[in-house]
Structure 1
Amino acid sequence: MPNSTQMPGAVNMIRFFFLAASLLGTTLSLQAQNELSNFTATGRGGVATTFATDYQAIGVNPANLGRPGGARIAFTIGEVGAGIGSRSLTRDQLRKFIYNTNDELMPAEKQELARGFTSDNALNLSADATTLGLAVQIPAIGGIAISNRLRSVGHVELNKNAAELLFLGKDAPIYASASASNIPLVSEALDGSQLQFTALNEFNIAWGRRLVDLPLFQLSAGAGYRYIQGVGIIDVRVKPGDLQAYSSLSAVFDINYGNLTSNPDFNFEARTNGLQPVGKGNGFDLGVSAEAGKALRLGMAVTDIGSMTWEGNLLTATDQKLKRLKSAGVGSYDFFKEAAEIFASGTDSLFQYQTGQNRKANLPTKLRAGAGFRISEFFETGLDVTLPLNTVAGNLTSPFVGAGLDYKPLSWLRLSSGVSGGAGYGVGIPLGITVSTSIYEGGISTRDITGLLADKNPYISVAAGFLRFKFGGKTQ
């Protein structure tokens, strides 16, 4: 059996959250909607199941690749999306965690943050970046698309004890209420808390083909496959008597594992070059789409079917009696690094860890369903519902619903908006601006224009693409 030990070193969570974005030169990272790098879908509230075409259908609904009439060839370089939101922190608090990491926390601020982080959705974060995408329509075969995509996702959910331990450390009230003969288990004290983060590098291929082509009804089906490199994961989920916690982080995160590197039960992965993956996996997407007449479109897909096997730098936590922390908790706005020392690593961690050889985990499988209606050549509207089918790191925390509208006031200009909600966020009003010609498309959008300005329930999000080209089809 592996020896029980504590995970040494400190994880810079900002690097972890923002990995996908930073690799492409952006600075934000943010909850798991795959289409964040699809700037056209983001502007209409994530409605994409019936709207997404060519390579943008990857991970959404591959059946849309079988829909003829679009571009013969479409490609992109560098479509990115990022967002960060909270249902319990203020905009100023959120901003300080990003820009004021060197500022020391005063006692009053620590108390405020302990209250603020006592929430089912203290933080939701994700970044999605398509480095390269290409789609080709071949009449006898259908549509084929390939892409490389980076995804980074995070979710923080803490109960009152967990939030107080995090910010007050050894002075947390739970220590005063627990007697020497009645010390609770970690799983009892932190009941309901979750910390989940993933960073993946995907290589995708998808295919779609029209199966039925009648004057008033068309039906298409499609499938997608992705080979996944696991760059990092932390998955902590706590229920009474049930502590599930493990991590596997690439050397790109610069973790100091100390003496564990010589442990034969520890698959140590030193950094050589690039992302240096610590896991690998295979994922699949299946989808269908239908068109009735010239106006109505329907679509349904199941995405991210499959699993990952995490091998490098793998550590798994075990339950134990709650121990008194040595520190006074998080002491600065460098929250992610200090929180990692308490919840995921460091000699002052709440958890005990065991080394391991490998761990298999399901991908964040989702069911997507949508409907779209073409009102005229100027207006198109749609509705999307996305349901999480499991609770693994990287999945939605709750169902996501979006209703969106595209409006073309000019032949080359498309404005998008709508309303969305769920997945750990409040009601959002998206907004997108896209310049679209017969060969070029570029634009910028946000999932929630009100969240950019609101003091309560802030949500900062942006998606952009400026190098999307289409040949051989009409303007979308």
Structure 2
Amino acid sequence: MKLKHLFFGALFLISAQPFAQTQNSAYTAIGKGVATTFLSDYQCLGINNSALGWGTGFEGKQFTMGTSEFAFGLSSPTLDKERLKNAYKAIYNQVADKENEDFDYAAQRDAAADYAEAGMAINVNYNWFGASYQNEKFGGIAVSVRENYSWFSQLNEQTTDIIFRGRLSSYFDSLTIAIDGDTTTIGNTENLSQDTLAAVISGRINDPLLLSDITNGSRIKFVWNREYNFGYGRKIFGSDSTFALYGGIGGRYIQSMAMFDLQSDESGISVRSAISPFYDINYGQTAGTSPTSGSSSGFLPSAVGQGYGVDLSASVILLGKIRLAASVNNIGSITYNREVYSVRDTLVGEMSLPGLDDSNITEALTQLNEEGGLLRLEGEQEFVVTNPANFRLGGSMQMFKKKLHIGFDVVAPFNKDHPGSLQNAIVSVGGDIRPVKWLQISAGYFGGGVYQHNIPVGINFILGGGTYEVGISSRDALSFFLKDANSISTAFGFARFRF
């Protein structure tokens, strides 16, 4: 996989659950862990469109625009901060085209042991552009363009060993080596020299297992989408000072750059794969079996699927200070019709690919899909994948002349097995305080199931009476202080304007 083709990596460079991405790239909400009743401009798209009817919250300002809002999260319920740092460094070095010089055969073996059975999530969100107009009579309308990258993997011990060590995996009982043009077969033992390991060209097993037996208990859920979002919200009836009901509707056109869905359990193995040619995966002869295979040129990745999502929401404002809201988001699907492959459950007797050269688990796509890798793919015409839809319920209260705003969120997936979905329901509480008009400090808590315990924090500077905003936040402050923290994250924005 060529580094220049990792287009999403540009987002890492500008920065510098599994993890729960429940606030998209809205850095102002990430720092408090709650979003449903805290966002009210283009940032509320895909969260609670009815909030567009609430107004901007700043007197005399009806337009909001923003760009370059970024959020990154990497987390695991079992890996500690040091191992997560290694994973982050590997991803960053790959994007920056730097070598991982110290990742030798022993490091491959150690990484395989570390990652076995360990859940890992990587999430990247970037807002290219967002804009909204909000008026008391008209309501509010908003658009945005967002990039969303979501990876979740949990692999059994044998699959992890094959991915990280490739043809040297302990699964293979013999190795084929090539020295000075001659090939020979030797046993795969622990005491082989570095020179011998470097000469290995393939690994073989005399009594091969079915692919479904090797991977049993493993899953990968990966999706990389670009969303063109729109939404409208307004007051339906009532007065904010007593009781007011708001409604919202929205949606998005989705271009998908990549989707990979592997699920292996007692009933067998299922794989659906559609990955942009930008990833430079060499399918070899398998590419000839796909009626949808092709090539790509240029810097921007070409889409392999298109689809849509629909959002519906409602909210109420009570006594001018209490807000309650509920929404369902991203109901729809994506049709994949380029680079589309499924898997054949066959005996795996040989592998020619080398192991990974760093601890970037997303490189598993190469180990799995390329010719000579673990999977035996076959081409398909197209398939339809349901979106990772979710349900949200939130509430909040403003106090002390709106200087303090606290609330809660509950976000649950419709189906956790869809690529990009949350793995379980998440409960969060949090809020913000404005000791002075130009400063907003936020904090909160979220967790549940595989998402462990996280303490988000953030700071936002609101200048010129709301004219300009800049801020930074993190989904988990514990990662800065605890050695056994299970996450690394950051989010920021520096170009939000109102007028």
TM-score range, shorter chain: 0.7 to 0.9
What residue is the counterpart of 1:37 in the other structure?
Answer: 25
Query: Could you tell me the TM-score, scaled by structure 1's length?
Result: 0.87
In 1: Cα distance, 2:42 partner to 2:363 partner: 39
Cα shift at 1:111: 4.0
Q: Which amino acid aligns with 2:374?
A: L
Matched, 1:60 2:47: yes
Matched, 1:254 2:280: yes
Q: Secondary structure at the match of 2:252?
A: strand
Alpha-carbon distance change, 92 to 174 in structure 1, aligned in 2, over 3 angstroms: same
Alpha-carbon distance change, 147 to 469 in structure 1, aligned in 2, over 3 angstroms: same
What residue is the counterpart of 2:244 in the other structure?
Answer: 218
Q: Which amino acid aligns with 2:471?
A: G
What residue is the counterpart of 1:132 in the other structure?
Answer: 129
Contact persistence 1:129–1:149 (CA under 8 A):
yes
Matches within 5 A, 1:53-452: 53-68=40-55, 70=57, 71-99=61-89, 102-106=100-104, 108-121=106-119, 123-169=120-166, 172=169, 183-214=208-239, 215-259=241-285, 265-272=291-298, 274-326=300-352, 330-333=355-358, 335-336=360-361, 339-343=364-368, 345-376=369-400, 377-390=402-415, 391-422=417-448, 424-437=450-463, 438=465, 439-452=467-480
Q: Which amino acid aligns with 1:58?
A: L
Q: Secondary structure at the match of 1:268?
A: coil
Deviations 1:273-309 (A, max 9, x none): 6332111001111111111212221111111110001
In 1: Cα distance, 2:469 partner to 2:441 partner: 13
What residue is the counterpart of 2:192 in the other structure?
Answer: none
Contact persistence 1:418–1:429 (CA under 8 A):
yes
Q: Identical aligned pairs, as a percentage?
A: 28
In 2: Cα distance, 1:448 partner to 1:233 partner: 28
In 1: Cα distance, 2:340 partner to 2:421 partner: 21
In structure 2, the gaps of 5 or more residues are: 91-98, 174-203
Structure possessing the higher relative contact order (Cα contacts under 8 Å, 6 or more residues apart): 1
Alpha-carbon distance change, 187 to 453 in structure 1, aligned in 2, over 3 angstroms: farther
Deviations 1:245-269 (A, max 9, x none): 1221223223344455655723324
Cα shift at 1:156: 1.4
In 2: Cα distance, 1:221 partner to 1:116 partner: 48
Contact persistence 2:290–2:380 (CA under 8 A):
no
CA root-mean-square deviation: 2.7
Alpha-carbon distance change, 216 to 27 in structure 1, aligned in 2, over 3 angstroms: closer
Deviations 1:299-356 (A, max 9, x none): 11111110001111112112223434345x635315447533322x223322110112
Cα shift at 1:20: 3.8
What residue is the counterpart of 1:49 in the other structure?
Answer: 36
In 2: Cα distance, 1:114 partner to 1:24 partner: 25
In 2: Cα distance, 1:260 partner to 1:174 partner: 24
What residue is the counterpart of 1:4 in the other structure?
Answer: none
Larger Rg: 2
In 1: Cα distance, 2:37 partner to 2:321 partner: 12
Query: Could you tell me the TM-score, scaled by structure 2's length?
Result: 0.83
Q: Which amino acid aligns with 1:91?
A: K
In 2: Cα distance, 1:261 partner to 1:272 partner: 21
Q: Which amino acid aligns with 1:133?
A: G
Deviates more, 1:184-193 or 1:462-471: 184-193
Alignment: residue pair count:
453
What residue is the counterpart of 1:455 in the other structure?
Answer: 483
Alpha-carbon distance change, 269 to 305 in structure 1, aligned in 2, over 3 angstroms: farther
In 2: Cα distance, 1:28 partner to 1:240 partner: 42
Q: Secondary structure at the match of 1:151?
A: strand
Deviates more, 1:270-279 or 1:95-104: 95-104
In 2: Cα distance, 1:157 partner to 1:217 partner: 47
Matched, 1:26 2:18: no
Deviations 1:15-46 (A, max 9, x none): 65xx446158525799451524101101002x
In 2: Cα distance, 1:469 partner to 1:203 partner: 20
Alpha-carbon distance change, 257 to 111 in structure 1, aligned in 2, over 3 angstroms: closer
Alpha-carbon distance change, 394 to 337 in structure 1, aligned in 2, over 3 angstroms: closer
In 2: Cα distance, 1:398 partner to 1:174 partner: 33
In 1: Cα distance, 2:216 partner to 2:288 partner: 34
Alpha-carbon distance change, 186 to 264 in structure 1, aligned in 2, over 3 angstroms: closer
In 1: Cα distance, 2:288 partner to 2:15 partner: 36
Q: Secondary structure at the match of 2:281?
A: coil
In structure 1, the gaps of 5 or more residues are: 1-9, 472-476
Cα shift at 1:434: 0.5
In 1: Cα distance, 2:84 partner to 2:75 partner: 8
In 2: Cα distance, 1:331 partner to 1:275 partner: 24
